[in-house]
Amino acid sequence: MNLSSSGSEPLVHREHAASESVGIVPVDLDRPSLGKLAPQNIALFGPPGVGKTVIGKLLAETLNRPLVDTDTEIEAISGKTIEAIFRDEGEAAFRDLERELSVSLARRTGLVVACGGGTLLDDVSRQAFEASSSVVFLDCAADTLLTRLDRKHDRPLLTDDLRTKLAALLAERAQVYLSFETRLDTTGRGPSETVAEIQAVLRAAEVRSWTVNQPPADYTVQLGPGLLERLPSTLASHGLHPPYIVISDSHVGPLYAEDVCRAIEGRLVTFPAGEQSKTLATVERLSERCLNAGLERGGTVIALGGGVVDDVAGFVSAVYMRGVRWAALPTSLLAMIDASVGGKVGVDLASGKNLIGAFYPPGLVLADTRTLETLPDEEFRAGMAELVKASLVGDPTLFDWLEAGDARPSPRWLERSLTVKLAIVERDPYEQGERAALNLGHTVGHALERLSDYTLRHGEAIAIGLVAETRMAERLGLAEAGLAGRIETVLSRLKLPVRIQNGTPGQVRLAMTADKKRVGNAPRFALPISPGKVTTGCLVPDHFVLEVLEEMVR
């Protein structure tokens, strides 16, 4: 779509009056919650006698969640008491049962789990719980533990001399116990007080924050629920001043823009949603609207929307009056974990994606995960492709979770995906080397987007590109055998496409010549070696490229 044509949807410019109190909440679409993010389990872990079962039961009742006590569950599964399992089969057999149960529980959501005192000593069990749960380590003074255990002494590892055995067990496990990030000392606290403290700790941990060191200045990225509710104070605390111009699109604007503009006394400018609007014509018209709305060099552009909004509004900010400050309020999964961070902004040309742009980081990124509830299912699934990509680029544990876990991500998956990108951006802010790894799947993906006239969503195209480029890596002997099949299985479970549905192999190959990473007419690829390891700047022989593309259209 060319926005300069007379048939284009007009850009909208509205002014909103301020209100003393404004609540910014997700819009009710008259349908049940989509439950985009799986509610994380809450796993309680700590030494024997710390009170995990009692506290877990009260916490589960308070939150109206099911309680799973791992010891009780193992007894039900095996038909034996814990003591009998240790006596008849040994500790190794018991740990095997714990491990199987841990992996099984990681596929469930919304539980309170009271873990046995040794459950998370096992690496597999710990990884399973950390993928699906907020793990809270409950600690306690040794003398208090001893008193509690003495009341009911049926622990297989603490028979005979309780004091000596407990001291030895605590010393043996001390390093692991100290490794948990979220810790709470229950000494002198009753169960009710402990439960209240757990809830407070978990609420505080819902919002994750990063300080990104990227030229020309550090900026903050926040991810979590309810961030839009504190937007006015957060903008002010990060030195982002009015006048505020909110740039959004025709999809997101009707959902959130009115409340946002009212809260910050901002003025709204919108443009038609979709990749077809990512053009210089849109930038020109938005810039004129910003001028008419009173945007000054000391003011702030607020990008409210998905990846296209971030790219366009960020580029407007970079060029308007030679640069004004801007903040990103991403509302799509793709924008939250990828497009809004890293400072790459720009627009497309008719011949290819993102061929005009700049490195211009925002002053602030606020990713309110509650906005994902209004995101259409197909858009959410498309965003998952970038999460898979991030796992392949820099987080093999996340890829393991994707292979073994539920198709719905937990908030922790988003955190880890975002961490991968931010770490790379800090090390290579201008894409002079390592940052090119983030283009994994994009050389083929961008070509497919263009051939579909952008009816294929970005994430859908990247999903196909990940499979295709991994197959190329296998042919070159770079990728470990079977990796393409593993990636395809993960993407298929997420209901993402893994086959080329538009364009012939020759057309796809030709479209790649517009890729900005090309050398001459030869595209450069980022190719995976194994989960978490990618090599960049790869030239793939044309016959390998065409062979893979031929396979992908079958």
pLDDT of residue 34: 38
Pairing state between β 325-330 and 364-368: parallel
Task: Please return the burial class of 397, using the count of CB atoms within 10 Å of its CB with bins 0-12, 13-18 and 19+.
Answer: middle
Question: Is there a shared CATH topology between the 41-205 domain and the 386-552 domain?
Answer: no
**Where are the chain's structural domains?**
12-35+207-375, 41-205, 386-552
Which among 412, 461, 450 has a CA at the least distance from the CA of 208?
A: 412
Q: Rounded to whole angstroms, what are the CA distances from 17 to 43, 267, 299, 300, 554?
A: 46, 9, 18, 18, 57
What is the SS3 string spanning 21-79? CCCCCCCCCCCCCCCCCCCCEEEEECCCCCCHHHHHHHHHHHHCCCEEEHHHHHHHHHC
Q: What is the pLDDT of residue 368?
A: 97
CB 224 within 8 A of CB 237: no
pLDDT given for residue 145 in this prediction: 86
Helical pair 377-394 and 458-475, crossing angle rounded to 10 deg:
30
Structure pTM?
Answer: 0.85
Helices (H), 90-160: 91-105, 123-132, 142-151
pLDDT given at position 409: 85
What residues are labeled active site?
A: 322, 344, 386, 421, 431, 435, 439, 442, 446, 458
| Cβ-contact 221, 343 below 8 angstroms | no
Burial of 262 (C-beta count, 10 Å sphere; 0-12/13-18/19+): middle
Q: What is the pLDDT of residues 455-490, one digit of tens each?
A: 999 999 999 999 999 999 999 999 999 999 999 999
Query: pLDDT value at position 2?
Result: 30
Homologous superfamily of 386-552 in CATH? Dehydroquinate synthase-like - alpha domain (1.20.1090.10)
Beta bridge partners of 300: 244, 325
Distance CA 385, CA 339 (A): 13
Q: How far apart are CA 229 and CA 25, in angstroms?
A: 7
- Side chain identity at residue 51, one-letter code: G
Largest CA distance in the chain: 88
Helix (H, G, I), strand (E, B) or coil at 365: strand
CATH superfamily of 41-205: P-loop containing nucleotide triphosphate hydrolases (3.40.50.300)
- Give the architecture-level CATH label for domain 12-35+207-375: 3-Layer(aba) Sandwich (3.40)
CB contact at 8 A, 357 and 347 = yes
Judged by DSSP in three states, 356 sits in strand
Spell out a b/e string for 317-336, using b for 16 or more CB atoms within 10 Å of the CB, else e. bbbbeeebbbbbbbbbbbbb
Q: According to the model, what pLDDT value does residue 200 have?
A: 94
Instruction: Write 480-487 long-range contacts (CB < 8 A, 24+).
Output: 480/529, 480/530, 483/528, 483/530, 483/531, 486/403, 487/388, 487/392
| pLDDT attached to residue 32 | 33
Average pLDDT along the chain, 554 residues, taken 10 residues at a time: 32 40 39 62 93 95 96 94 90 93 88 93 91 92 82 59 82 93 92 96 92 94 96 97 98 96 97 96 97 96 98 98 97 97 95 93 97 95 97 94 79 94 96 95 95 95 98 97 97 96 92 74 91 96 95 86
